[in-house]
Amino acid sequence: MMINLDESKNLSETSEDYLKAIYDLAEEAAATTSRLAERLGVAPATVTSMLKRLADQGWVDYRPYRGVTLTPAGREEALRLLRSHRLAETFLVEVLGLPWDQVHAEAHRWEHVISAAVLERLDALLGHPAYDPHGDPIPSSGGDLPEMATRRLLDVEPGSVARVERVDTQASDLLHYLGDLGLKPGVTVRVISVEPYGGPFTIEVGGTRHAIGREVADRVLVHLDTAQNTSVYDE
């Protein structure tokens, strides 16, 4: 599937935000009216009205009380937006040197206005990256996404060694915190211990140990290092 970068679709920025939010939510679970309202910070009635409009325009398949899915055209547009956003974030971090916790809002503005020609030049300039600075996969110009075999750091057994692949958050404060801990894609992390009854999750990054909350560990996606997990870690 070739992503259609035709700029004459006349979708509003709000409509584009809905399509991308539906795509994101569908990756996690069902995209429901209530979850969309929470994600976009609007009233459920506002979501219902917009979904009906998008359905009439052929972007979504909406059935009251049964959630919403993207049509092929809607999915294509959502992938175009993701490609624009994640390439913009990559440029802002790797070329302009902005911190990874400060690029989401700027990339959100870029995704709505960047032209097809500039986007493809940007992709070439960056060397056709497969992932953005947060580890999120970047759709290719053909709409393909690289596969990721990951699990939540929260689900990793004590004594295991893993490589951080992705962080599942756009919150600048949490990204800043993860950056301070060194929990970024490509970094090796060792799980030291997991205390019972909701206690702290202790990890080791770069020779330094940190006790983090379980909600933080749940936002870090990792790939187990098979070679280093052949024997149990001995403190």
85-137 residue pLDDT tens = 999 999 999 999 999 999 999 999 999 999 999 999 999 999 999 999 999 99
Q: Count, in order, helices (H) and strands (E) of the chain.
A: 8, 8
How far apart CA 136 and CA 53 sit, in angstroms, is: 30
Our count of domains for the chain comes to 2
Q: 31-35, 75-79, 159-163: lowest mean pLDDT where?
A: 31-35
Task: Give the least confident one: 8-12, 119-123, 148-152.
Answer: 8-12
- Residue pLDDT, tens place only, 182-201: 999 999 999 999 988 888 89
**What is the structure's pLDDT at 229?**
64
Q: Domain for residue 225, yes or no?
A: yes
For residue 130, tell me if it sits in a domain: no
Is 217 domain-assigned?
A: yes
CA 59 to chain centre: 22
Q: Which of 52, 73, 94 is the last residue of a domain?
A: 73
CB of 218 closer than 8 Å to CB of 152: yes
Domain's final residue, options 73, 91, 109: 73
Domain C-terminal end among 37, 54, 73: 73
Give domain status of residue 56, yes or no.
Answer: yes
Is residue 45 domain-resident?
Answer: yes
Q: Has residue 45 got a pLDDT over 80?
A: yes
Q: Is 162 helix (H, G, I), strand (E, B) or coil?
A: strand
Say if 180 falls within a structural domain. yes
Phi/psi of residue 83, nearest 5 degrees: -60, -45
Neighbours of 163 (CB within 10 A): 15
In a domain, 37, yes or no: yes
Q: CATH no. for residue 156?
A: 2.30.30.90
Average confidence score pLDDT of the chain: 89
Its domain, for residue 25, covers 13-73
**Taking the model in full, what pTM does it have?**
0.86
In angstroms, the CA 62 to CA 50 distance is 10
CATH number at residue 59: 1.10.10.10
Asked whether residue 173 is assigned to any structural domain, the reply reads: yes
